[in-house]
């Protein structure tokens, strides 16, 4: 179990506290309004605690990929507005990240005040982990808190660099993510079932390899399952397939037999004549896919088979939808799996933005034990990789 010092292990009263949060929230392209504020709400416990302890709270976050340039549509003004509403207190927002104007405002802050800096990625030094930029950012504060688990797998100035200049501790969200994900690896309640979907099997190779050692079953769906099916010699039509991954996938199929961990693919598939919401579609048995058709969801037999396993689970980790859930004709698999996980009363953990979006669509986001705010970070952690933003924090 990874144990890092947290905000409760340092005196923050009267101190300037730089908090790296993950406010990379989705915005409506037409209006610029926030469409999902889960990442803002997830950071509230840390922000409120620091404010109540008399800290001067300086928040920093990235949004999107402006690549070191100012992009007006990616300014954090909507975030400051929403955060003010959630806190019930004003949050001042800067139009800069560092510089004299920021220093003047920081020096004028009173205990309990909350300030939000501009989008970190407007600064070229952020993603380059430039030490000069990291030092300038650190000069604003006395203590550094990382509560952005979703960005912890990046060695950027605000996630790793500043920790070389300030005492660095975890926020409550970071602590919860590390405890929850460590628990999956070290002491899961059994049976432990992983549900893996999404488009690319190449994105899941590391975690499949790890889960074959620690899970009792791995249930697959989404575009990634077709490479697995192809590796088993099944016809997959025009479905997604990563030909270059077939040797690795075949080795995983062999390992699943050796380990006794079932690596399951769909028994039947909803196939479509084209990739379109209103495409002609039908259900076929696995391996019976018509030439020129593509799989866009798991079929009803598979939903029932997966449901039977999930209802008996003690722990479930889910990353990646089972099909194109945004389109109703291909949403049944993702909905069925989500409902079965909730009904199972297992310890349930989800990771990844698409999975969170699916849970929200089906009204189940509050029914999981833990919805991770880090897609890539959670997968890399579960693979066993060191996350730079975590390694940089002080140990207990």
Task: Write out the catalytic residue numbers.
Answer: 39, 200, 353, 376
* 370 token code pair: 């833990």
**Which residues are CB-contacts of 106 (< 8 A; sequence separation ≥ 6)?**
16, 56, 58, 115, 140
**Which residues are CB-contacts of 318 (< 8 A; sequence separation ≥ 6)?**
194, 195, 196, 337, 338, 341, 348, 349, 350, 351, 355
**Which residues are CB-contacts of 329 (< 8 A; sequence separation ≥ 6)?**
270, 272, 277, 278, 279, 281, 296, 297
**Which residues are CB-contacts of 265 (< 8 A; sequence separation ≥ 6)?**
220, 225, 228, 229, 232, 234, 286
Instruction: Look up tokens 């002609």; give the residue.
Output: 280
Residue-wise DSSP of 313-358: -SEEEEES-SS-TTSGGG-HHHHHHHHHHHHHT-EEEE-SHHHHHH
Question: Which parts of the chain fold into alpha helices (H)?
Answer: 38-52, 77-87, 100-108, 124-127, 131-138, 172-186, 205-214, 225-231, 246-259, 300-311, 332-344, 353-361, 375-383, 388-391
CB 26 within 8 A of CB 64: no
Angle (nearest 5°) at CA 338 between 335 and 339: 85
333 phi/psi in degrees, rounded to 5: -65, -50
Q: Sign of the C-alpha dihedral, residues 273, 279, 280, 284?
A: positive
């Amino acid at each position: 179990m990874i144990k890092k010092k947290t905000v409760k292990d340092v005196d923050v009263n009267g101190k300037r506290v730089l908090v790296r949060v993950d406010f990379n929230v989705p915005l409506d392209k037409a209006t610029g309004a926030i469409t999902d504020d889960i990442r803002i709400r997830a950071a509230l416990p840390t922000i409120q605690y620091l404010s109540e302890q008399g800290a001067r709270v300086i928040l920093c976050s990235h949004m999107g990929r402006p690549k070191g340039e100012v992009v007006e549509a990616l300014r954090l003004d909507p975030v400051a507005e929403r955060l003010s509403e959630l806190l019930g207190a004003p949050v001042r927002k800067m139009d800069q990240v560092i510089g004299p104007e920021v220093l003047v405002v920081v020096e004028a802050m009173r205990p309990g005040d909350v300030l939000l800096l501009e989008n970190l990625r407007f600064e070229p030094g952020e993603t380059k982990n430039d030490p000069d930029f990291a030092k300038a950012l650190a000069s604003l504060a006395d203590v550094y808190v990382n509560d952005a688990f979703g960005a912890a797998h990046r060695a950027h100035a605000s996630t790793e660099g500043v920790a070389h200049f300030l005492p660095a501790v975890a926020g409550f969200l970071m602590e919860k993510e590390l405890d929850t994900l460590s628990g999956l690896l070290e002491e899961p309640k059994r049976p432990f079932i992983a549900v893996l979907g999404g488009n690319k099997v190449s994105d899941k190779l590391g975690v499949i390899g790890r889960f074959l050692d620690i899970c009792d079953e791995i249930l697959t769906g989404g575009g990634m399952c077709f490479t697995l099916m192809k590796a088993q010699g099944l016809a997959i039509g025009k479905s997604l397939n990563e030909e270059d991954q077939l040797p690795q996938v075949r080795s995983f199929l062999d390992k699943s037999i050796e380990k006794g961990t079932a690596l399951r693919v769909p028994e039947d598939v909803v196939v479509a004549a084209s990739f379109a919401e209103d495409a002609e579609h039908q259900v076929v048995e696995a391996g019976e896919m018509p030439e020129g058709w593509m799989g866009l969801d798991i079929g009803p037999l598979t939903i029932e088979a997966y449901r039977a396993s999930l209802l008996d689970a003690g722990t479930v980790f889910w990353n990646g939808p089972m099909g194109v859930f945004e389109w109703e004709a291909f949403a049944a698999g993702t909905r069925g799996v989500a409902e079965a996980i909730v009904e199972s009363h297992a310890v349930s953990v989800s990771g990844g933005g698409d999975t969170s979006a699916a849970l929200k669509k089906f009204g189940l986001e509050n029914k999981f034990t833990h919805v991770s705010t880090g897609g890539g970070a959670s997968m890399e952690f579960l693979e066993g990789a060191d996350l730079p933003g975590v390694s940089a924090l002080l140990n207990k």
